[in-house]
Amino acid sequence: MEVDNKGKRYIYSDTELDRAEGEAIEALKAHSQQPIPDPDKWLDEEVRRNILLTTVDWALNWARRSSLWTVLCFPACCAFELMATAASRFDIARFGMEVMRASPRQADLMITAGTLTWKMAPQVRRIYDQMAEPKWVIAMGACAISGGIFADSYAVVPGYNRIVPVDVYVPGCPPRPEALLHGIKMLQEKIAKRSLLKEVK
C-alpha cells in the first residue's frame, strides 16, 4: 500500500505508483527551471568590496595631475614665493610636485614666476617647446599675466601668453603661496577633465 502525496489517496497498483511518481517529478521539473538565488548575497558584496571599476581617462588624468614636474624657469621676484610654496610650510610635495627639473625634457609644467623681457622670450619659448607632452603653463603674478608694473616698458613682454599658451592665471604682486596652491588645484581640475579620445582625434 502507498500513499499519493497530492491526492492523499491510497495506491495499490505498481502502474499507479509509477504514474504518481512521474507526475511529482514533472511538477518539480516545471518549478525548477531557474537557479535558486543565494539569499545571503555574499558574492555581490564580495565583488563590490574588491573590484575597482574606472576608466582609462580617469586613471591617466589622476596620474598626470598627481605628478606634475615643474621646469626651472623663474626669471624674477615671484620666484621667491614659488620657492616658499615648495618649502616645508606649504610643501607642494603633497601634490607630487616636489621634483623640479633643470631639464625641460623631464618636466610637464612651467610656472612662470617673474617678469619676462623680450630678450629672454626666445629662451622661454625654447624651454616650452622642449618640454614633454602633454604640458601646462601657470602664469604666476601680475608680470606673468600682463607685464604688471612694467607693462609699458619697451623691454617687457606684456604677458607670457604672447609667447606660450597659458592654462591658469594666478594674480598678485607677488601672489602668496596659498594663491599659487589654489592655481595648482585649478590646473589639476582642468587636467581631470581631459579625454584620451579627444587627444587622439
Is residue 142 involved in binding ligand SF4 (CB under 6 A)? Answer: yes
DSSP H or E stretch at residue 128:
helix 121-130
The SS3 call for residue 197 is helix
Is residue 177 involved in binding ligand SF4 (CB under 6 A)? Answer: no
Give the binding range for ligand SF4 (CB under 6 A) out of 6-14, 19-27, 73-81, 123-131: 73-81
Is residue 83 involved in binding ligand SF4 (CB under 6 A)? Answer: no
Give the binding range for ligand SF4 (CB under 6 A) out of 24-32, 56-64, 75-83, 177-185: 75-83
Q: Choose, by CB under 6 A, the member of 173, 185, 195, 199 that binds ligand SF4.
A: 173
Q: CB of 141: closest distance to ligand SF4 in angstroms?
A: 3
User: In this structure, are strands 2-3 and 10-11 parallel, antiparallel, or unpaired?
Assistant: antiparallel
Q: How far apart are CA 176 and CA 85, in angstroms?
A: 8
Q: Which is nearer to ligand SF4, 104 or 174 (CB)?
A: 174
Among all chains, which residue has been given the C-alpha cell 509509477?
Answer: 18
Q: CB of 77: closest distance to ligand SF4 in angstroms?
A: 3
Residues with Cβ within 8 Å of residue 134, at least 6 apart in sequence: 64, 108, 194, 199
Residues with Cβ within 8 Å of residue 80, at least 6 apart in sequence: 174
Q: How far apart are CA 101 and CA 69, in angstroms?
A: 7
Is residue 159 involved in binding ligand SF4 (CB under 6 A)? Answer: no
Q: CB of 149: closest distance to ligand SF4 in angstroms?
A: 6
Q: Choose, by CB under 6 A, the member of 114, 159, 177, 183 that binds ligand SF4.
A: 114
Residues with Cβ within 8 Å of residue 197, at least 6 apart in sequence: 57
Tell me the angle at which helices 56-65 and 177-192 cross, rounded to the nearest 10 degrees: 160
Is residue 174 involved in binding ligand SF4 (CB under 6 A)? Answer: yes
Rule CB under 6 A: which residues touch ligand SF4? 76-78, 114-115, 141-143, 148-149, 173-174
